[in-house]
Amino acid sequence: MTNGKNDNPSAGSIIMNVQINNTMKISLFATLLFAMTMLFSHSLMAQNQTPAPPQNEPIALVGGTIHTLSGDVIENGTILFEEGKITAIGTSVNLPEGTRTEDVSGKYIYPGLIDAWSQMGIYEIGAVDMTTDINEQGTVNPNVMVERAFNPESRWIGVGRSAGVLTSITTPGGGLVSGQSAAMMMDGWAWDEMTIKSGVGLIVNWPNPNNLNNYTNQIRNLRSAFADARAYKNAREAMDSGNAPHHDFDSRWNAMIPVFDGSRPVVVNANDVRQIQDAITWSLEEDVRLIILGGSDAPLVTEQILKHDIPVVVTSVLNSPNRDWESYDARYALPAKLHEAGVTFAIAGASSAPYANRLPHEVGAAAAFGLDVDEALRSVTLSPAQIFGLDDRIGSLEVGKDATLLITTGNPIEYATQVEQVYILGRKSDMMDSHKYFYQKYREKVDQRAAN
């Protein structure tokens, strides 16, 4: 007995307490569900963008300065595209009957920017787990096809597009082998029509060497996974040729067959010197094509990288140095060092989808710290297209390639430049996005108060 009250509640009071607790839980869940519904409804309203219809007439952009990225700059030029493809480019272009012309005099035309490492379409709100679909269960998931999870309604698509990012190499994460990245265009109704190319790289997260025991075990697991996949490939080939009995289909190992025949590169997320060196050694032993993602220490091992012709996708130029003894501009100047050494590279920003619009700023910082401006622009256009095998469609403005381009007031990597209009596969995209929506909304608030 305490304070004249029974310390052992009756069965009835227990049931009542349980009912109250359940009611509170249901009420809390309902409140949370309502809040999330309102959040998503407001997000979609704020996004206020509609995918453009396919191009149904010839379009010519006339009078602009055309930066092809694969040849000379064309002053006062014309670029003609039909059914989503560039059909003519130059200063004397014969326009077919029915061509819709747009005067872009005083403007600049560039290829669309490519974000070579992104979570676009699979990440929405960090604080709400159900809006992120980056990591799969388990540690070895080569069969994950990230485009199947791509959300075409993501509000970050419009924000990135307004900054000139028209192609996203959307990339899964987590585990040792994360899955396959995909090149996605930033306009469309559904993931299948937005997919430029599936399986542009198999993502491997190289283990951290600071924990030696764990590092050794993880490398052993990686080797084991590749050995199992290679054995599966051999067994299936023997079965198909009639030299072996039936071998069951395995989606995980089947997804790795293109890695062994060289048609799909392995993109290894590695930053430390030891990680990069060990990844190179491993790729030679496995006889697979390697792309280094991250590459913070790549300037320290350029000899190995050049010897084996390994491209590097540099991430997060706008970042602080990794070590106390490094200079403040170690990350800013990293692309310039790679270019000076002759390394093939592309620049990607932070992977988070909300930061895709900062990609031009990442490149601009590299240009400010020693990287040639033309090379800086190529690092987010033609270079990533070549690295990921997309240069037959995007990355430069050439006859036969996709009409995926920007109309701007200047160089898109300069902070003050405005992207006035984009075309994606010949589609004139809606330039509204959530940032512009809120700007217009609160600009109206300021104007209303100023008028009173």
pLDDT tens digits for range 206-217: 999 998 889 999
- State both tokens at 221: 């697991």
What's this model's pTM, rounded to 2 decimal places? Answer: 0.89
pLDDT of residue 186: 97
pLDDT of residue 42: 47
pLDDT of residue 233: 96
Looking at domain 54-111+398-452, its CATH superfamily turns out to be Urease, subunit C, domain 1 (2.30.40.10)
Return d(Cα 91, Cα 137) in angstroms, integer: 55
Return d(Cα 162, Cα 395) in angstroms, integer: 18
pLDDT of residue 433: 92
pLDDT of residue 27: 55
pLDDT tens digits for range 271-316: 999 999 999 999 999 999 999 999 999 999 999 999 999 999 999 9
pLDDT of residue 452: 82
Q: Domain residues of the chain, as ranges?
A: 1-47, 54-111+398-452, 113-394
pLDDT of residue 322: 85
Q: How far is CA 23 from the centre of its chain?
A: 43
CB of 142 within 8 A of CB of 229?
yes
pLDDT tens digits for range 268-278: 999 999 999 99
pLDDT of residue 354: 94
Identify the CATH number of the domain defined by range 113-394. 3.20.20.140
> Which residues in the chain come in under a pLDDT of 70?
1-48
Amino acid at 138: G
Return d(Cα 309, Cα 385) in angstroms, integer: 16
Alpha-carbon distance values, 259 to 145, 254, 267, 293 (Å): 14, 10, 11, 17
